[in-house]
Amino acid sequence: MIKLFITATDTDAGKTYVAQALTSALVKQNYRVAVFKPISAGCRLVHLPEGDVLINEDAEQLMYQSNCSQSITEINPIAFQPAIAPHIAAKLIDTEITMSEIHASYKHIVNRASDCLITEGAGGWRLPLGNGKYLSEFVQLTEQKVILVVNMKLGCLNHAVLTYETIIADGLDCIGWVANCPEPMAYLSENISELKTLISAPLLAQLGFQTDISKAASVIDLSPITKLL
């Protein structure tokens, strides 16, 4: 089984979009793909007969593309209603985000023995959990392969290089990056060329504005992933 962690240069950079496209592409090749969104902030409260549940849109979108019949709470065990930094949302309701809870939820999905387990991070690489911990420590603990989504806009070179260098300094393997360009950027190809020289992991895809996930999925180079399967 390959375990992938999707991180990005920032929030709103395209992590869910790329995670959906990767899931779709792998499912199309008949792989069993499970998904995980450990922490979300920005959820709607839904009243169900079995109790209230907080539903996060990212988790729903990942669920629609995947093929392991997971429940929404299995996919997203830690959910907060307000769209604010998760550790602050936790504090507001007198709770804490613990590494052991994230890890236990993850192990449960690992035990499903899918071919691929795709996890979407939250925010950027150094997402604080509170108490001095970061979500990146979970990625280290579980030895996931990292995919970096770069939101192509002015300022992204700095964000991309800092993120990439930190992933490597954390002892992790970045197996590819995606240039996500939903909006026009001046000198896009020059910026991508520069990043290709600065990031020594393969460019998996250059994605333009595309609302059809299966079309975005079709241009991803899956070979760095499928060679590990």
Q: What is d(CA 155, CA 226) in angstroms, rounded to the nearest whole number?
A: 32
> With contacts defined by CB under 6 A, how many residues of the chain interact with ligand ATP?
16
The CA–CA distances, whole Å, from 95 to 37, 48, 89, 209 equal 19, 23, 9, 39
Residue 111 binds: one of ligand ATP, Mg ion, none (C-beta under 5 to 8 A by kind): none
Q: Based on CB atoms, which residue is closest to Mg ion, 16 or 70?
A: 16
Catalytic residue among 3, 15, 37, 153: 37
Q: What is d(CA 148, CA 124) in angstroms, rounded to the nearest whole number?
A: 10
> CB under 5 A: which stretch of 9-17, 124-132, 191-199, 208-216 binds Mg ion?
9-17
CA angle 82, 88, 89 (to 5 degrees): 30
Residue listed under structure tokens 């959910």: 79
Per the DSSP assignment, residues forming a β-bridge with 134 are 128
Q: What is d(CA 180, CA 176) in angstroms, rounded to the nearest whole number?
A: 13
Select from 11, 166, 214, 218 the one that contacts ligand ATP (CB under 6 A): 11
Tell which positions 25-64 bind Mg ion, by CB under 5 A.
58
Select from 2, 4, 8, 178 the one that contacts ligand ATP (CB under 6 A): 8
> With contacts defined by CB under 5 A, how many residues of the chain interact with Mg ion?
3
> CB under 6 A: which stretch of 14-22, 64-72, 88-96, 135-143 binds ligand ATP?
14-22
Q: Is residue 37 among the annotated active site residues?
A: yes
Select from 15, 87, 153, 159 the one that contacts ligand ATP (CB under 6 A): 15
Residue 17 within binding range of ligand ATP, rule CB under 6 A: yes
Quote the strand ranges of the chain, DSSP E. 2-8, 33-36, 39-41, 43-48, 51-56, 78-80, 116-120, 128-130, 133-134, 145-151, 174-180, 203-207
> CB under 6 A: which stretch of 135-143, 158-166, 189-197, 204-212 binds ligand ATP?
204-212
Tokens of residue 85, six digits: 């930094």
In angstroms, what is the minimal distance from the CB of 111 to ligand ATP?
A: 26
Contacts of 23 (CB under 8 A, 6+ apart): 33, 35, 62, 65, 66, 118
Residue 96 binds: one of Mg ion, ligand ATP, none (C-beta under 5 to 8 A by kind): none
The binding site for ligand ATP (CB under 6 A) comprises 8, 11-17, 58, 123, 180, 182, 207, 209-211
